[in-house]
Amino acid sequence: MTDTTKNFGTGPAAASKTFVYLSLDSILDPGDTLIGSRPVGVLSSGSYSAGSTLVTIPADATPGIRYLIVLADGGQAVAESIETNNTRTTSIAVGPDLQVSALSAPLSALPGSAITVTDTTKNFATVPAAASTTFVYFSLDSILDSGDTLIGNRPVGVLGGGSSSAGSTVVTIPVDTTPGTRYLIVLADGGQTVGESIETNNTRTTSISIPFPDLQVSALSAPSSALSGSTITVTDTTSNLGTGLAAASTTRYYLSATSTYDTTDILIGSRSIGTLLNGASSSGSATVTIPAGTVVGRYYLIARADGEEVLAETNETNNTKYYRIVVQ
């Protein structure tokens, strides 16, 4: 600690001592710890003494932003014109300070896939940090909160002042993740085992794109004619032509007067489609009934992928395929 103790009064000041305190706040009070002092000689009006004091931060000092308070005439040996202006304060960071100084991960990934997250966890303080664990979270937004999913962690050894640990963690993107922009949040000292001067700077975030699927009905067949009220077998192939994973969906079948689907079309059956990876297809059949009383004529059997409209896709307008059918 280097200070200048000056006599601002009009008369001389007898010899005094300048005290140094460590404080949890910036105000000197009886709870503060005296950690050093230095002698100051007689000071005539306007003269000063500049000097340094080697002080020790107590080993048991609680980490955090603390205050060094220097007090002129500590011990109150000199009567002064003003006794209430004798302190000067500066802050000091006590303890290590872990931060994630670098982070990299793939720009996109499929739900359920394993990816490698690489981080550098660094101790930005001058004092060592005990061993810690760096956590990796998956988040819907860029802010770490209690709703985020812990998907991995890696051990970080003791880090001396200014030193760092670079390492990788293999994590799995939650299988139920929906498409869109998501976030990987890496947290130094996850689990909070290391007391630090600053506990609020421990995260680093990167976005990761979960790609969208694109379901289409790539093939459709049925009898070319059917009796009103009869059951027929419809066979289709529902394909995921997007880059993302398609969660389970339903392909619905409609009887329509036109080749394009609209909400007035008559739902006559459906088929469940399991999860489809990008590029994958599901072929299958369903038994459907031509409603009794259907007026004889030419119709369109329309198959509509994601007929329940539960999946977000890159293209929502390419989900139907029709097959001409005559109702007799």
Q: Tell me if 17 sits within 8 A of 39, measured CB to CB.
A: yes
Pick from 3, 119, 148, 313 the residue near Ca ion by CB under 5 A. Answer: 313
The answer to whether 3 contacts Ca ion (rule: CB under 5 A) is no
Q: Do β-strands 114-123 and 98-104 pair in parallel, antiparallel, or remain unpaired? A: antiparallel
Pick from 40, 109, 115, 194 the residue near Ca ion by CB under 5 A. Answer: 194
| Minimum gap (Å) between residue 229 Cβ and Ca ion | 33
Instruction: Spell 98-123 as b/e; 16+ CB within 10 A means b.
Output: bbbeebebeebbbbeeebebebbbbb
- Give the tokens for residue 35: 């950690």
Pick the closer one to Ca ion by CB: 200 or 264: 200
C-alpha atoms less than 13 angstroms from C-alpha of 273 in its C-beta half-sphere: 33
Three-state DSSP at 11 gives coil
- Give the tokens for residue 323: 């097959």
Concatenating the DSSP letter of every residue in 170-192 gives EEE--TTPPSEEEEEEEETTTT-
The answer to whether 72 contacts Ca ion (rule: CB under 5 A) is no
The answer to whether 98 contacts Ca ion (rule: CB under 5 A) is yes
The answer to whether 148 contacts Ca ion (rule: CB under 5 A) is no
The stretch among 137-145, 147-155, 162-170, 193-201 that binds Ca ion (CB under 5 A) is 193-201
Pick from 155, 315, 324, 328 the residue near Ca ion by CB under 5 A. Answer: 315
The answer to whether 273 contacts Ca ion (rule: CB under 5 A) is no
The answer to whether 133 contacts Ca ion (rule: CB under 5 A) is no
Q: Footprint of Ca ion on this chain (CB under 5 A)?
A: 73, 76, 78, 80, 83, 97-98, 189, 192, 194, 196, 198-199, 201-202, 214-215, 313, 315, 318-319
